[in-house]
Amino acid sequence: MNCIVIDDENMARVIIRTLCDQIGSLNIIDEFSDGIQAIKFLNENNVDLIFLDIHMPNFSGFDFIKTLKDPPKIICTTSDPRFAIEAFEYDFIVDYLLKPIEFTRFEKAIKKAEKLNISKPIAKQSNEEIVKNDFYINIDRRLIKIDLQSIYLIQAKGDYINIKTEEKNYVVHSTLKKIEEKLPKSLFLKVHRSYVINLKKIIDIEDNSVLIEKDVVPVSRSKRPELMERLDLL
């Protein structure tokens, strides 16, 4: 199994790597001192198993877990037994190891991980979509949670996107396509190659443009029929 280690203590990462070296089926492909760097890595790479420290400064193991869209198997590593019950509420958490970790206990956890096949739920066709309430963006090594309902406009500007909310604007190094995949389709629509809008925030529509808050947004000819179809017209 391909694995990564997330722990803010260097010695703890060394110990996990040493334990993994004693089991032939494990391959540590990278290690991280904080969850934010690990999230960046997971956005581009797939792993089978994560060794995750629960207590880390600024961004805990549970904060990290909540950002995962399609989580792999996770083994928690911590010196604090208090969060074991909370950890096992997640189906993808295989085991909860207390530091210092003994090899026999570590080996038992790995055997559980090897036997566990996380079954992905089959998506059912439905007229209603399950809408997430929020998501995280990465700005200057900080993960900031944004309420999806508060976003009224997302504009692409070169290698960056400008996320406009009712309270604040956020400039993020990303693509419009990437963020569009995270947005609920029942609420948002790409009306132009450079714009995604919140359909609930439209104030006015005239010709090939829409007014959202104080922004006039162009609507491409190809997207106008879909826009009109999505609106609740009298």
Length of the chain: 234
Give the separation between CA 9 and CA 215, rounded to whole angstroms.
Answer: 47
Residue 96's domain comprises 2-115
42-45 contact pairs (CB < 8 A, 24+): 42/4, 42/68
Identify the domain boundary among 115, 145, 176: 115
Pairing of strands 49-53, 2-6: parallel
With respect to residue 123, please indicate whether it lies within any of the assigned structural domains.
Answer: no
Residue 121's pLDDT is what?
A: 46
Same domain (yes/no): 189, 218: yes
% residues pLDDT > 70 (the chain): 91
Same domain (yes/no): 107, 190: no
Same domain (yes/no): 100, 194: no
Judge whether 197 and 152 are in contact, CB under 8 Å. yes
Identify the domain boundary among 115, 146, 162: 115
Residue 124's pLDDT is what?
A: 41
With respect to residue 129, please indicate whether it lies within any of the assigned structural domains.
Answer: no
Residue 122's pLDDT is what?
A: 40
With respect to residue 60, please indicate whether it lies within any of the assigned structural domains.
Answer: yes
Residue 57's pLDDT is what?
A: 80
Same domain (yes/no): 217, 143: yes
Same domain (yes/no): 6, 106: yes
With respect to residue 184, please indicate whether it lies within any of the assigned structural domains.
Answer: yes
What CATH number does residue 71 fall under?
Answer: 3.40.50.2300
With respect to residue 120, please indicate whether it lies within any of the assigned structural domains.
Answer: no
Same domain (yes/no): 103, 180: no
Spans in the chain with pLDDT lower than 70: 117-133, 141, 232-234
Same domain (yes/no): 35, 63: yes
Same domain (yes/no): 13, 110: yes
Residue 226's pLDDT is what?
A: 85
Read off the amino acid at residue 104: T
What CATH number does residue 185 fall under?
Answer: 2.40.50.1020
Q: Which residue do the tokens 């083994």 mark?
A: 75
What letter does residue 97 receive in the DSSP assignment?
Answer: E
With respect to residue 96, please indicate whether it lies within any of the assigned structural domains.
Answer: yes
Same domain (yes/no): 83, 148: no
Q: What would the pLDDT profile of 22-37 be if each residue is shown by its tens digit?
A: 998 999 999 999 888 8
What letter does residue 130 receive in the DSSP assignment?
Answer: P
Residue 102's pLDDT is what?
A: 95
Domain count, the chain: 2
Residue 104's pLDDT is what?
A: 95
Residue 60's pLDDT is what?
A: 86
Judge whether 195 and 154 are in contact, CB under 8 Å. yes
Same domain (yes/no): 28, 89: yes
Is the C-alpha dihedral spanning 199, 201, 205, 209 positive or negative?
negative
Tell how far CA 103 is from the center of its chain.
32
Residue 130's pLDDT is what?
A: 44
